[in-house]
Amino acid sequence: MNYIVFDLEWNQPQDGKPTAERALAFEIIEIGAVKLDEDFQIVDRYDQLVRPQVYHQINWRIRKMLDLKRGELSGGRLFPRAASEFLEWCGEDPLWCTWGSQDVAELRRNMKFYNMTQLSEDPVPYINVQRLYGIHIGNTAQSRSLETAVKELELPMEVPFHRAYGDAWYTARVLEYLPEELKNGHLSYDRAVRPKPQRRDTRRRGRSKEKKLDL
């Protein structure tokens, strides 16, 4: 099994149309990842730009945050090829690790948009390093940014933030720092279609409180 720490950057339209009305709300424009061995040491890296096919105009906020140069994405792979190469690079039975919960979901949404069948079965397990860091510092109510966590841990800042490979690298460094019991005992799961919440039947429970199901 390989630990694959990855990060995605994506573009979004700036016309104000609700994302719920779009077939693809966020278009992936960069994939960055590092591969870890069983001791959580980096043994390989993946860094690939993706040429936009849906939203050709880069949102100005995205351009500024990523410090994208004009025309930088024109030499990128088309998403189906980039995603296929990435999955092949990950190897068999990878355990993905991300900062937060959105990257796995957006990778699956982009693959579905292009009718790619990989990762179509639910659920997809992964390690949410942001969540584990919150548990480690005793604060799960407020999510820390990756940059904040790196500074709090006084980790060396050797690569730029806010690009896919750099953020994957820093996420791997935070993961390496965390205790073994956290890394091996707290998996998260991404579900493409979440089950509908069950109705509460309180007719025979009076006013007693019912525990929420952990879906």
Residue 70 lies in a domain: yes
Residue 84: CB partners within 8 Å, gap ≥ 6? 116, 118
Residue 215 lies in a domain: no
Whether 207 shows a pLDDT value over 70: the answer reads no
Whether 215 shows a pLDDT value over 80: the answer reads no
pLDDT band per the 50, 70, 90 thresholds, residue 199: very low
Q: What is the DSSP letter of 78?
A: P
% helix / strand / coil in the chain, to the nearest 5?
35, 20, 45
Residue 197 lies in a domain: no
The total number of structural domains that make up the chain: 1
> Cα–Cα distance between 165 and 6 in angstroms, integer?
8
Q: How many CB atoms lie within 10 A of CB 37?
A: 11
Residue 127 lies in a domain: yes
Residue 198 lies in a domain: no
Residue 130 lies in a domain: yes
Please tell me which residue, 19 or 117, carries the higher pLDDT value: 117
Helix axes 79-90 and 102-113, enclosed angle (nearest 10): 130
Residue 174 lies in a domain: yes
- Full residue range of the structural domain in which residue 127 is found: 3-13+23-190
Residue 112 lies in a domain: yes
Q: What is the CATH number of the domain that holds 153?
A: 3.30.420.10
pLDDT at 200: 40
Query: Per DSSP, what are the bridge partners of residue 14?
Result: none
Write the pLDDT tens digit of every residue in 66-85. Answer: 999 988 999 999 999 999 99
Write the pLDDT tens digit of every residue in 143-154. Answer: 899 999 999 999
Residue burial 154-163, b: 16+ Cβ < 10 Å; e: rest = eeeeeeeeeb
> Cα–Cα distance between 119 and 121 in angstroms, integer?
6
The lowest-confidence range among 27-31, 39-43, 47-51 is: 39-43
